[in-house]
Amino acid sequence: MGGDCDYHGEESSLGQEISLLSSENPTFLRDNSSVEVEEGTPMREREIVPYKEVLLSYDELRIRCKNLKEAKGTILSYNPGAWIETVGGLKLTDYDVPKTTSLILIGPRGSGKSSLVNRISKVFEVDKFASVRAQVSYNSSIGDGTYFLQEYMIPRDSTSICLYDTRSLCDDSRENNKMLKRWMTKGVHHGELVIRGSDSRSLRTTMKSKALQCGYFSSEKRKVNFVILVVNGLSVRKSMENVCDLEMQYSTMVASTFNCPYLSFRDDKPVIVVTHGDLLSLSDRARVRAYLGELLGVPPTKQIFDIPECDSPVTELAIIDMLRYSLEHADKSLPQKKWFIDKVYKLWLSLCIVLVILGITVASAHERFRHTYNSPQVCTENNRATTPKPEGSLQMKPHREWHEIRYIW
């Protein structure tokens, strides 16, 4: 990948390329006329407007760099739930706010997830000479890089934000969905070994052996609060050219992953980070974002962030903007506390108590009635009422038929 960039060089480059495009295309900012970039490669008409918007966003980002310190302070002062929108009459206390907001990084092999972790961490690092935190694969074509889920607090001594570096996606969408479903429904766990069904027996044996050597991790599982989809801008640019089916598969994988239902929080889908922009011209970087916006159906200037491997205030501000977007949407998607269930439970419990008291009262009343009915005085009166009267007393004579008493006469 490209090395570190000088800020003034990048700032100058951004300004020069925007000015150059504007001068070569006088109607560039005024209408939707055809635009050609990169040696006459034509753009489709529907790509022109988002392409212009993305190019202008680079210039706006450069201007906003003067507020970089303030923007960084906003992230450093963040606490989970800070950007909850108290709507519908709900209060902050009505939400289930975690101790730590967990952001998970996913993406294809070679997308630069581990490098992005290091770049984000460096923005908030007090010691600028500190070593990198995430292990980066030098040759992404060999192996899958990260096999164990790794948790990184941002900044190091904070408990408010953590990033999870994950194993790369594979070519099998079913395998990917199975893995993503497990993370999103059961949570993520620092040091957890990620094994796929398609892994060879030798790889399984090797990785399990490494897991045993490291011992068992006792860290808690964390619920994923938002997802960051990391894509290689260079691979996306190649897939736009339709060179071969293999390169086209990259865009297909990105779209399939982005639309995975397990990654959505209500209507909020993942934020997209485009890496390896330092290997592309500004024009190509803008085209990649515009293309991804059309492919995924999201605004390229709001939900797609270009973060190249370049040390500069412009890159730092892009990282801060991306984190703020992710944290705001994570807070927005926090579940409400189970207050309704609690209220129903309390109501049910109260009703049960009332029924129990009522039952005891009825049983007590019945017992008193039975005791009174069976008392000696009542029994004497009842017996007296049923005792036969002596002879001579007036009694109703039984009715007799005439033929039975005719002999008397």
List the one residue out of 3, 187, 176, 159 whose CA is nearest residue 76.
159
pLDDT of residue 132: 85
> Does residue 359 lie in a domain region?
no
Domain of 279, in residue numbers = 7-77+98-333
- Residue 167, token pair as written in the block: 């194993």
Q: For residue 241, which phi and psi values (nearest 5 degrees)?
A: -85, -10
**What mean pLDDT do residues 244-262 have?**
88
Q: Does the pLDDT at position 123 exceed 50?
A: yes
Residue 359 corresponds to which amino acid? Answer: G
Give per-residue burial for 151-189: e unless 16+ CB within 10 Å, then b: bbebbeeeebbbbbbbbbbbeeeeebbebbeebbeeebb
Q: Does the pLDDT at position 377 exceed 70?
A: no
> Does residue 185 lie in a domain region?
yes
pLDDT of residue 61: 95
pLDDT of residue 17: 53
Select the more confidently predicted residue: 396 or 137.
137
> Does residue 103 lie in a domain region?
yes
pLDDT of residue 339: 58
> Does residue 398 lie in a domain region?
no
Select the more confidently predicted residue: 61 or 85.
61
Helix residue spans in 241-338 (DSSP H): 245-258, 282-296, 313-332
CA distance 150 to 217: 11
Q: What H or E segment, with its residue span, contains residue 152? A: strand 150-153
> Does residue 91 lie in a domain region?
no
**What mean pLDDT do residues 195-223 have?**
79
| pTM for the whole structure | 0.76
CA distance 372 to 222: 66
Q: What is the DSSP letter of 265?
A: B
pLDDT of residue 12: 55
Question: What's the total number of domains in the chain?
Answer: 1
Q: Which of the residue ranges 13-17, 82-86, 177-181, 183-187 would you say has the lowest mean pLDDT?
A: 13-17
188-208 pLDDT, tens digit per residue, is 999 898 988 888 888 888 888
CATH number reported for the structural domain that contains residue 14 in this entry: 3.40.50.300
155-169 pLDDT, tens digit per residue, is 998 999 999 999 999
Select the more confidently predicted residue: 356 or 291.
291
Select the more confidently predicted residue: 2 or 134.
134
pLDDT of residue 217: 55
List the one residue out of 324, 317, 327, 323 whose CA is nearest residue 58.
317
> Does residue 366 lie in a domain region?
no
| Cα atoms found within 13 Å of the Cα of residue 245, Cβ hemisphere only | 1
> Does residue 299 lie in a domain region?
yes
> Does residue 84 lie in a domain region?
no
Kindly indicate the confidence band of residue 151, based on its pLDDT and cuts at 50, 70 and 90.
Answer: very high
**What mean pLDDT do residues 45-63 have?**
91
**What mean pLDDT do residues 225-240 have?**
95
Select the more confidently predicted residue: 112 or 86.
112
CA distance 295 to 143: 29
CA distance 81 to 97: 6
Q: What percent of the chain has pLDDT over 70?
A: 73
**What mean pLDDT do residues 352-362 have?**
84
277-332 pLDDT, tens digit per residue, is 999 999 999 999 999 999 999 999 999 999 999 889 999 999 999 999 999 999 99
